[in-house]
Structures are given as C-alpha cells and as structure tokens.
Amino acid sequence: MTRFHELAEKFGTPTYVYDLNEVQAARDELLAALPEEFKLFYALKANPHPELVRALREGSGGRLHPEISSTGELAAGLAAGYSGEDFLYTGPAKTYGELHEAISKGVRKFSTDSVTDVQRVAAVAKELGAVAEILLRVNSSTASASTGIRMTGTPSQFGFDAEVLPEVMPELRAIEDVELTGFHFFPLSNAKDEESLIAEFQGTIALAAQLQADLGLELKFLDIGGGFTSPYGVPGVRGHYPKLRDELANALDTHFPNWRTNGPQLACESGRFLIGASGTLLASVSNVKVSRGRKFVILDTGINAFGGMSGLGRLLPVAVAVETGEKTERASLAGPLCTPGDLLGREIEVPIYEPGDTVVIPNVGAYGPTASLLMFLGRPAPTEVIVRGDEVVSVSRIEHERSYQVGSAAQ
C-alpha cells in the first residue's frame, strides 16, 4: 500500500494532500532563478490555505509576499503571519468595504486598473488618514511571447491601456492621498518555455522604461508579472529557468542602468509554480460502467472539488498516476454530479479500476477546492491534509453555512 493509499484509507476521499517540503522547494528554486534584488509575490488565488501560505513565508528571507484580490485572501495571509504592509492588493472591482478593511489592517500597496479605481482607493485612504501606494497596471498593446495564456494586448477589464496613460496622467497626478509609485504588468500565464518567458520579461522591462520617460514618472516599484509554468493535474515537473537570472539582469542593465543601487524595487509573481506540485488529489471509484462501447470510471468527486478554474475545462483533462508495469486501459473519468460536463478525463489511459479503488491525480496544489464548484449539489468539500514528508501537520475541511439576515422570514 502506497503512502497515498494509506492517507485515503485514514481520512477518506475525496482528499487533497499538500506537502510543505515541496512548497518550500519550489519557492527556493524560483527565488534562486531571480536576481537577489527581486521580491516574489505569491498569488493566493492559486491556493489560499493558510498553512501553505505560512510555509512560503517561513524561510523566504523576507523576499516572498502575498498578492491578493479579496478580503478573504487578506484574512488568509494575516492568519499565515503576514502584516498588512506586506500585501499587494489587486483586482478591477475593489469596493469601498473591501478597501476600508484592507487599509484599516495596514495594506498600503494597490495595483489599480482605472482612474476611478485610483480615486476610490484615495477616498478610503483619506478617510482613514493613510497614504496609499499606487501601482498602475499596464495593458500593453503588444506581446513578446507567442505561447501561454495571454493577459494583455486586447481590450480588458485589467489595467490601463498603455497608449492612453499619457492622457490620464494629469488626472491621476491630481488625486490626493495616494502616491504613484510604479507599474504592474501581468502579460501572460504559464509560458511554454524559458525563451518565451524571457522574451516577455524583456519586452515588459523595455516598455516600463519607455513609459517612465514618456510620462515623467519616477518608478519606485516595478512588478513585471509572472508566467512560470508547472503541470496541472498530469505527471511532470516544474519549469526550469537556468538563464533567467542573467537575462533579467542584462535587460535591467540596458533600461535601468542604476537598478541595483537606485531602484526601482523589482518584483515577479507566481501562483501555480509555487504550489502546484505540492498537491495530490485522492478519489475513490464509486462505479465502473460501459456505455455503447465506452468505459466510464465514476468517482466520488468531480468538478465540484477539482474544477480547473470553476469547471471551465480550460486546464483539463487530468492524467492519473500509473505505477510501472501496471496494466492500463482507455476510459473516461466521470464525477458524481448530475451534469454531463462533470468529466475529469475523456478516454485517457488509466489502470484497470474496480469500485473501491483509489485514484491518484498529481500536481493539483493549485486551483483545487477554492477554484471549483464547491457549492454545486450541496456535496461536502474535500478534506485537505497538510503533510511534511511522512508527518501529518493538519487536517481540515471547508464548511458551507448559510447565514440569515436578522428579521428575515427564516428567523
């Protein structure tokens, strides 16, 4: 019996298992691939479990910080030991209530997407007697890499279109209670290879320098985004970036000659790379059936717990773990939900399963329960087991609870 089968037997299924050793190994690997002057932001949307966020913080030498876009993620980061000033708050729909809570808890750095976004941050900062640091998220008009998921270069709710920044700068400069400190770029996600990622970063750094000159804005902070790759739901290893450190330094030497001594403060960000390989999903086979010549292995979980960004299918299908020498067959992995869209894998190679067997899906530390259809059909959330090697650190489950307003008919 393997370690995963033992955990499935002990805690039941569906269960996510996250290994803190793997979390910290990924962090150390990525920090080593960047110039030491860089900070690294962890995007909590990948996985906000406080134990994982804490593991990323501990031993990072103060170089790893949380990037959030909700007060729920703020609470998770605070629970993991971060202070308010450590956070970068992003997102195109920051509300008054969210900003009030964030600023009152010490958050000062905000990535903004429009003039009205900056004005809203400023209004709340003024009310609370604070000065907010503003990064202008830039939606560039061109792209350097031809691979990965594009996050820029098209009409978008994210960021200021680069070509209109000169027009809106006078209005931005007139806003009080904020300080315009720099730019935030996030041009792509999950670059196919190191060359594509380097090309994107080189283009971003060049554009940042051009915008600084064109706008007359002294950059104190420059976040060039991410794009670091890691497999999702299939066997494999994280991306490898042996050239990145030197290539970033060369690009910065060209466009920001004094960057090592006079700034700007530089940053990258990552979600899946830092957390993806730490997680394994354990499910049980509920039934096996054949329909018109096709075999279906039906599991006790599906897109309600492993949705690939809310069941969109963008990151699926999965590939289950197959032991060396194990006999396999072609089958579809189906979940328990009453929708034909609840498929984790269509006609994939799997072991010859029988009801009661444990299915092991690797590399699912990112975009698991909180990126899934947890509330659909009222099924319980999966168990989440945190381990460090062979040691079980904690066991938890997200619980759903309906809260009624005072005076409602239910009362």
Please name the residue ranges forming H helices in 144-280. Answer: 165-173, 194-215, 244-255, 259-262, 272-275
User: 31 in a domain, yes or no?
Assistant: no
Q: Are residues 202 and 231 in the same domain?
A: yes
CA distance 180 to 182: 6
Q: Are residues 163 and 102 in the same domain?
A: yes
User: 147 in a domain, yes or no?
Assistant: yes
CA distance 356 to 377: 23
Number of domains in the chain: 2
User: 50 in a domain, yes or no?
Assistant: no
Q: Are residues 260 and 304 in the same domain?
A: no
Q: Are residues 223 and 313 in the same domain?
A: no
CA distance 278 to 20: 7
User: 55 in a domain, yes or no?
Assistant: no
Q: Are residues 268 and 281 in the same domain?
A: no
Angle at 167 between CA 166 and CA 173, to 5 degrees: 80
- pLDDT tens, position by position, 329-371: 999 999 999 988 898 988 999 999 999 999 999 999 999 999 9
Which residues are within 8 A (CB) of 119 and not within 5 positions of it... i.e. 6 or more apart? 175
CA distance 149 to 152: 9
Supply the DSSP string of 221-238, one letter for each residue.
Answer: EEE---------SSS---
Which residue, 245, 273, 301, sits at the end of a domain?
Answer: 273
Which residue, 210, 245, 273, sits at the end of a domain?
Answer: 273
Q: Are residues 179 and 236 in the same domain?
A: yes
The SS3 call for residue 295 is: strand
CATH number at residue 83: 3.20.20.10
Q: Are residues 85 and 142 in the same domain?
A: yes
Among 1, 174, 338, 406, the one annotated catalytic: 338
CA distance 4 to 9: 9
CATH number at residue 374: 2.40.37.10
Range of the domain at 235: 65-273
* The pairing of beta strand 294-299 with beta strand 279-291: antiparallel
Q: Which residues pair with 42 in a beta bridge?
A: 66, 270
CA distance 305 to 369: 5
Model-level pTM? 0.92
User: 404 in a domain, yes or no?
Assistant: no
- pLDDT tens, position by position, 217-246: 999 999 999 999 999 888 999 999 999 999
User: 341 in a domain, yes or no?
Assistant: yes
CA distance 233 to 279: 9
Q: Are residues 87 and 179 in the same domain?
A: yes
Q: Are residues 268 and 387 in the same domain?
A: no
Supply the DSSP string of 82-142, one letter for each residue.
Answer: --GGG-EE--S---HHHHHHHHHTT--EEEE-SHHHHHHHHHHHHHTT--EEEEEEEE-S-
CA distance 367 to 309: 6
Which residues are within 8 A (CB) of 348 and not within 5 positions of it... i.e. 6 or more apart? 317, 318, 319, 320, 330, 331, 332, 333
The pLDDT of residue 403 is 87
Q: Are residues 205 and 300 in the same domain?
A: no
User: 47 in a domain, yes or no?
Assistant: no
The pLDDT of residue 34 is 98
User: 296 in a domain, yes or no?
Assistant: yes
The pLDDT of residue 273 is 96
Q: Is the peptide bond before 340 cis (omega within 30 degrees of 0)?
A: no
Q: Are residues 303 and 322 in the same domain?
A: yes
The amino acid present at 207, given as its one-letter code, is L
268 belongs to the catalytic site: no
Closest CA to 44 of 80, 73, 22: 73
Residue by residue, pLDDT tens for the chain (411 residues) are 689 999 999 999 999 999 999 999 999 999 999 999 999 999 999 999 999 999 999 999 999 999 999 999 999 999 999 999 999 999 998 999 999 999 999 999 999 999 999 999 999 999 999 999 999 999 887 655 444 444 454 656 767 888 889 999 999 999 999 999 999 998 888 888 999 999 999 999 999 999 999 999 999 999 999 999 999 888 999 999 999 999 999 999 999 999 999 999 999 999 999 999 999 999 999 999 999 999 999 999 999 999 865 444 455 678 887 777 889 999 999 999 998 889 898 899 999 999 999 999 999 999 999 999 898 899 999 999 999 999 999 999 999 888 898 766 555
Which residue, 273, 290, 323, sits at the end of a domain?
Answer: 273
Asked if residues 219 and 10 have their Cβ atoms less than 8 Å apart, the reply is no
Q: Are residues 268 and 301 in the same domain?
A: no
